[in-house]
Chains A and B, each alone.
Chain A
Amino acid sequence: MQKKDENNTRREFLKKLPVLAIGAAALSGCNSEELDEFFQQNFKTLSKAEKAEIIKNLEKKYSEKYGKEFKVSAKPATEGILFGYALDLSRCIGCRKCVYACVKENNQSRDPQIHWIQVLQMEKNRGIDLAHADIHYNPEQVPEEGHFYMPVQCQQCRNPQCTTVCPTKATWQDEDGIVVVDYNWCIGCRYCMAACPYGARHFNWGEPNVPIEEINPDTHYLGNRPRTNGVVEKCTFCIQRVREGKYPACVEICPTGSRKFGNLLDPNSEIRYILENKRVLVFKEELNTQPKFYYFFGV
């Protein structure tokens, strides 16, 4: 203690002065909300009051930017719920309605383009064979003879590799099983994208661009709120919808009813019925990621 005091000399002070000046100059360009955002702590460590303050500032910021009332929820997970998803490979026709319903619901950038769902077209005689899968198929009509379709999005792994590699702990698996990203903490290193074996994470290479008239103002902090340049985003099972009890947007849009969703801990749920009565598989099972996203055969 004594020694530290000795360091606090006039000479030391003068040495530090330029650093302080540069820092002050850099920060003086910010308003108080930007300063708050800059010094914001990891979302998981924030108190209720701090979260409320952040939400209030974000709602104000987005409302001003997009000219309509924005709702940013921070609703936490509910105990006794573990979300699971099932997709019927025998029914999917590859129409891509889910892709665009997701883009709209979750405010994905239109240009540069980000799609959280990618539909793979595969050949029936090869089975699930990624080397021969095609996401750019564009025939006059689907389904095409001899092909089947496998939409891929975040598999919401129980053992997610994307979260373990994150150097800032900006992404984690919440209590209800949804793997979320705090865009304010993401530094854009893209380690998670390298770690994900499903290509389910997407990077904002440019400033995201969503037409004002198409923006969905009903958002969640960890989900579909507007993103910025340089952060990673991914499917959250429509966290803003499912934590309010609603189905994800892709489930509701699917014209063939191929997409099913529910609580894995509820023995009477649709999802549990599928797991118990249908032939089920998980994608890249050998990697031990233990997805909560299942593929099944309804017929």
Chain B
Amino acid sequence: MTFSILQLFGCSNHKESELDENNYKTQKENKKNEGMYNSEKADENAIESPPFTEGIFPCSECHIDIEPNPARRELIDMHDDISAIFNHDSENRWCLDCHDINNRDYLKLASGKLIGFDESYKLCGQCHGDKLRDWKVGVHGQRTGEWNGKKQYLLCVHCHNPHSPKFKPVKPLPPPVRQEDIY
């Protein structure tokens, strides 16, 4: 819960460990030829790398020693924080519908194709095609930068917690003073 609110307001406050950053860069280099969003629209670039809980990426660091278990189940020892908040068609889906069972550092499209976390919008777009279409033209989601030039976009997961995507209510900033309170 707090995580998603943080995402909502602290979009530019995410810090990643050195390790994450390096790994993220290698992922990017590996994918240069796969027609990333960056190359599709040269004047747009991601404001920052995808938000991870600190110290969680790369996933393979832990998962390399764990025998993959494809049985759908409630997680208890690890990732129980995610289980607790999970609210994203939870009746029909669970971890391995989006995360790849063999290589946890990647996400998996319905086609079986693996994608990096920096391309997660492709995964979201499988169901939310209308949002993806609007996002690509700059109508869904926040844009910063130049209205006529270089823009920065955010990934879906910067604002929506992928495990519980609905926006959480917030405290509004103070209302304007009432005229009768002035005099």
Inter-subunit contact B176/A113 (CB<8 Å):
yes
Stretch at the interface among B19-27, B69-77, B103-111, B166-174: B166-174
Chain B interface main SS type: loop
- Cβ-Cβ contact count across A and B, 8 Å cutoff: 96
Inter-subunit contact B142/A254 (CB<8 Å):
yes
**A118 to B137 alpha-carbon distance, docked (Å):** 28
Is A140 positioned at the interface, with any CB of B under 8 Å from its CB?
A: yes
**A113 to B139 alpha-carbon distance, docked (Å):** 33
Q: In the complex, which residues 201-254 of chain A have their Cβ closer than 8 Å to any Cβ of chain B? A: 242, 245-247, 251-252, 254
Checking B159, B169, B171 against A257 with a beta-carbon cut-off of 8 angstroms, the contacting residue is B159
Checking A97, A135, A141, A260 against B169 with a beta-carbon cut-off of 8 angstroms, the contacting residue is A141
B134, B139, B146, B174 pick with most chain A CB within 10 angstroms: B139
B8, B9, B134, B178 pick with most chain A CB within 10 angstroms: B134
Inter-subunit contact A242/B147 (CB<8 Å):
yes
A266 to nearest B CB, angstroms? Answer: 8
Inter-subunit contact A96/B177 (CB<8 Å):
no
Bitwise interface map of A from 127 to 160 toward B, beta carbon under 8 Å scored 1, else 0: 0000000011111111100000000000000000
**A66 to B171 alpha-carbon distance, docked (Å):** 33
B148 to nearest A CB, angstroms? Answer: 5
Is A71 positioned at the interface, with any CB of B under 8 Å from its CB?
A: no
Checking B144, B149, B170 against A95 with a beta-carbon cut-off of 8 angstroms, the contacting residue is B170
Inter-subunit contact B170/A298 (CB<8 Å):
no
Is B127 positioned at the interface, with any CB of A under 8 Å from its CB?
A: no
Which A residues contact B (CB, under 8 angstroms)? 93-97, 99-100, 112-113, 115, 118, 135-143, 242, 245-247, 251-252, 254-257, 260-263, 266, 269-270, 273-274, 277-278, 298
